[in-house]
Structure 1
Amino acid sequence: MRFLLVNPNTSQATTAAMVGIAREAMPDAEIDGVSAPFGVPLITGPTELAIAHDAVLALMAARPPFGYHGLIVAAFGDPAVEDLRRTVAIPITGIAEAGMAEAAAHGDFAVVTTTADLVESIAQRAMAYGHTDRFLGTVLTPGDAHQVMADRKGLVTALLAACRRAVDDHGAKAIVIGGGPLAVAAREIAGQVGVPVIEPVPAAVRLAAERARRSTLLN
């Protein structure tokens, strides 16, 4: 199977990291990556998320995903997922959608992330995907997202502390790490929290593959 991972931000390094993680999650699949043609290297608020939405649509209009079995939108706001489903013939999967689905299977869950200005957008995604009864909210790392993410070791430490707060203070039975650019750090803290820590990129690969198989059977 072939999948296209679309990074809605402009960071080529983030795209490469997410593609690497996606390939590890499904070694038998061919997974290509592409970055947004315009926008910002890190989506930290609703304005950037709206720009990312337009960038993803522009990218897919210029480069239709011919020859792929599925498309993964790899930003946690799942920008343009609904619009793509109306215009693209292959299954579309968002990383927030996939991560929340896997977390909800374990019970009440929280999202842990670095971007305070996206808390409302995350809550809207949880509601849209039918997880209102299991979604406990978003737990944030302290400080400015850009500064936190610039220090790799500090990012891992901050995310791990936030995950533990989600469990101890909110009673989370599972945690989703909320952000494509957090994918590498998410991998490092998995297994250190005491509850399942869902990495959204591998979760999206698994869901995309399941949808591709179903689509093939139907056709």
Structure 2
Amino acid sequence: MKILIIEDEPEMLENMRQTLEREYYTVETASDYKKASTKIGVYDYDCVLLDITLPDGNGLELLKQLKQLGKDDGVIIVSAKDSLDDRIKGLNLGADDYLPKPFHMAELHARVKAIVRRRSFDGNKLIEIGNVSINPENRSVHINDKEVTLNRKEYDVLLYMISNKTRLVTKTALAEHVWGDHIDQADSFDFIYSQIKNLRKKLTDATATIEIEAVYGVGYKLQVV
């Protein structure tokens, strides 16, 4: 799952980034309004952690921008401004949650998990499709009740495909979501092909009733067989 942290305090930003990366999220950061505006205009995220007070603008304007673009990124406002008016305004603009500073990183992680689970998996802690079962809490995958070992990126690809099971996923979207926004500077998608090939083999060997179908020239689609 991909997270964007918008925070201008360097130490806080680094603590949040390290905490979420330890939980295997793909994390992007922005320390000012301009950079954040560019990122949310170009890329999609599962959750945006949004500070209200930025050196060159108001974070609530970024929330407005997200909604005007028609994006459904989850948003948690993370701010030292803990007034009731700020909370109400942020929630009315479409934020999912409000976490006042200071806070424990464990609470931040719990809030992020809740947002991602609610938005991507209908609030379910266990994700099931066909004979495949995924537990995001411990990143385990079972097929026919037998555990299948995936590496980090194979797991991330599978989870992203399942969270978009009704959609055609482009190679670019898959790469950005699993490997991060800097992937647009890559010369090729060979690294994606390698992970997809290995994941497909593991699904086939375990007789999974789902498969990842390649759509020539475009990307991939998850199929239940």
Same fold judged by TM-score > 0.5? Answer: no
- The structure with the greater share of residues assigned to strand is 2
- The structure with the greater share of residues assigned to helix is 1
Q: TM-score, normalised by structure 2?
A: 0.39
In terms of Rg, which structure is larger? 2
| Higher RCO structure (Cα 8 Å, ≥6 apart) | 1
Q: TM-score, normalised by structure 1?
A: 0.40
